[in-house]
Chains A and B, each alone.
Chain A
């Protein structure tokens, strides 16, 4: 589904990303782990064509991301608060995203109804703009917005950060369901090794921009990762 080829990104002489080849299959659920500055967000931004690679290219569904925009209709992401429109209420935001993705109100409502648990009554009907919600609630809204419009590729950067324990558990369930769908490719980054090993079938470890481990998740994965990072 996603192919990364000879990708490097250099800022003022220092290389922050250097991936010779990484192939993510359709239906994969890939967990990206690494310390701060390992290049996780940079990689996601490159996949979304938000930054220009210094060398190399990325394919999404057979389309080079910097050459055509065809991949955008099947891809969705929540990277950070720049994916939120602060002056909208959560509902308005969901409907706006829905309209951009060719969904009518009823479609969006149908998606939202699946996440009532996850929202925990803190998102819908709040009489508040997104910018006035807490960080955790903003994240919930952003994650759900990324699931509107049946995307085939879903990219979530640090989805577990800032969430309360109950919501983390609910989010794990959501991501597991998504990864069970053979048509949906999920890319998740996290600092929490336990969470990613639980929800992803494949873990890629980045260190200073390079892939240092690429594992299929098994019983030992968590131990191996803990050993790597300690």
Chain B
């Protein structure tokens, strides 16, 4: 796991470094804009996304404090120690790998060394502002959604050219470069934030205050309207609660929303290398299948924390599976309706999306569950930390099964597209999707057998502490 995370971190760093160098030339030569000015314009979004990412992924330093409380340390020292650890967090360091290469290119292209250094100090201070802002925000629920909402709106307005927020923020970032004493502003803000978060942490260093895990008052839900699904309703009710009440499961909904926008990379034709017609199907699979892919691959791992209970009850595997399947189908249908926004790019784009949805429901839903049956890593529902990049999604069997998920529809489409016309391609994919329904029982039987033969191994694997 460590190795895997390390790999991702390294990959990210390399990408950032290339991005730093590449951004300069890309903006200058492709877009014919001033790179420095353009980067400054978008810095506000950079910082806000950084904050959102931190909120979702960065672990709070409180976690390991409890055992320190009774040891002979001053409280201030404990907090300094915890804060100190966050300073070297990946989330802070990673920015350096973009801005240092970018700055070097800037200097080579005639920007003053002194001012570039000032600019960098200012940005570093802002990045650390985010670090401490996140520490403060993490204690408050929902505030982050407000920020996210405002930014999405501003971004949308800017895209539609109604109102450009960056016109107001860019001068500030440029000011960090131009006006030497402006760098003091973010540094002062940073010191202020450190002070505020430090004080609130020291005061809250009690088991029943800052260190208490938040327990919200909740209501029992019957979800009786689901009873119409007959025998499936028992599991369906549980699965909906699973998704509603667990951070880790909720993130699959987030992923599916993000994937809804994934098509923007493909359909408008902004990215050259994705313009091939075959990529449209690829995108359509993702746009409608975000939930299906992210939720389905971890069936039955979602139930890992109480798997022995499930295994000692008289459960019909088919009903258990069907409930998960139904959930994925419903989510795919909802995504398809939401994706109607793509009609903006022409009805053919939406046709591709509908075809993708049919294939997802008819074929991918089964394959995803099938691949999931081989996954034996327990999921800690209450924590989000492994939401991106669990290693077990990469064992050989699941990898093999991921081929038909993506490659097959692309191949089918290509056959139709190049031998006849695009519509033949769509028809071929859609027909395969519909044909997939016929195999539902076969696949479910197969999965049931896997569950049964791997039962003891699965129980033992789920017992391993996370």
A97 is an interface residue with CB less than 8 A from chain B: yes
What 9 A-B pairs come out closest when comparing CB atoms? A72-B314, A83-B309, A87-B245, A99-B234, A52-B456, A127-B217, A82-B308, A73-B314, A89-B220
Please pick, from A49, A84, A92, A128, the residue contacting B309 in the complex, using a CB distance under 8 A. A84
Could you tell me the distance in whole angstroms from the C-beta of A80 to the nearest C-beta in chain B?
A: 8
Interface residues of A in 48-100 (CB under 8 A from B): 48-52, 69, 72-73, 75-77, 79-80, 82-89, 91-92, 95-97, 99-100
- Chain B residue contacts of A84, Cβ below 8 A: 306, 309
User: Which residues of A have CB within 8 Å of B246?
Assistant: 87
How far apart sit A223 and B123, CA to CA, in the bound complex (Å)? 76
**CB-based contact A87/B312 at 8 Å:** no
Are A51 and B456 within 8 A (Cβ)?
Answer: yes
Contact A69-B218, Cβ < 8 Å, known A50-B308, A87-B241, A100-B234:
no
Report B236-261 residues with CB < 8 Å from chain A CB.
237-238, 241-242, 245-246
Interchain CB contact under 8 A, B219 and A82? no
Docked complex Cα distance between A89 and B238 (Å): 11
B3 close to chain A: CB less than 8 A? no
Q: With the chains together, A99 CA to B230 CA distance in Å?
A: 11
A145 closest partner in B (C-beta): B309
A195–B336 CA distance with the chains assembled, in angstroms: 60
Chain B's nearest CB lies how many Å from the CB of A84?
A: 6
| B51 within 8 Å of A (CB atoms) | no
Known contacts A82-B307, A84-B306, A127-B218; is-contact A51 B234 (Cβ 8 Å): no
CA distance A95 to B217 in the complex (A): 20
Interface string of B309-323 (1 = CB under 8 A from A): 101111100000000
Q: List chain B positions with a Cβ less than 8 A from chain A.
A: 213, 215, 217-222, 234, 237-238, 241-242, 245-246, 305-309, 311-315, 381-382, 456, 459-460, 462-463
Chain A residues within 8 Å of B313, by CB: 72, 97, 100-101
Known contacts: A85-B238, A97-B313, A99-B234. The answer to whether A129 contacts B245 by CB under 8 A is yes
Shortest C-beta distance, B262 to chain A (Å), equals: 29
Name which of B217, B241, B245, B314 has the most chain A CB atoms within 10 A of its CB.
B314
List, in ascending order, chain A residues with CB within 8 A of B314's CB: 69, 72-73, 100-101
> Is A5 an interface position by the 8 A CB rule?
no
On chain A, the residues within 8 Å of B213 by CB distance are 132
Decide yes or no: A83 and B306 within 8 Å by CB, A77-B312, A127-B219 being known contacts: yes
A43 nearest CB across to chain B (Å): 14
- Chain A residues with CB under 8 A of B306: 82-86
Q: Quick one: given A86-B305, A89-B220, are A51 and B315 in contact (CB under 8 Å)?
A: no
Q: In the complex the two chains form, is B221's CB within 8 Å of A92's CB?
A: yes
- Chain B residue nearest in CB terms to A80: B308
A75 touches which one: B308, B312, B460 (CB < 8 A)? B312
How far in angstroms is the closest Cβ of chain A from B54? 25
How far is it, in angstroms, between the C-alpha of A60 and the C-alpha of B124 when the chains are bound?
67
Give which listed residue, B218, B238, B309, B460, contacts A129 with CB less than 8 A. Answer: B218
Known: A51-B456, A96-B238, A99-B234. A82 touches B245 (CB 8 A): no
Task: Give the residue name and chain of the A residue nearest to B242 (CB).
Answer: A87
Docked-complex contact B218 and A85, CB < 8 angstroms: no
Name B245's closest neighbour in chain A (CB-CB).
A87
Q: 16 new A-B pairs (CB below 8 Å) besides A51-B456, A51-B459?
A: A48-B312, A50-B308, A50-B456, A52-B456, A72-B314, A82-B305, A82-B462, A84-B306, A87-B241, A88-B241, A95-B222, A96-B237, A100-B234, A100-B313, A101-B313, A101-B314
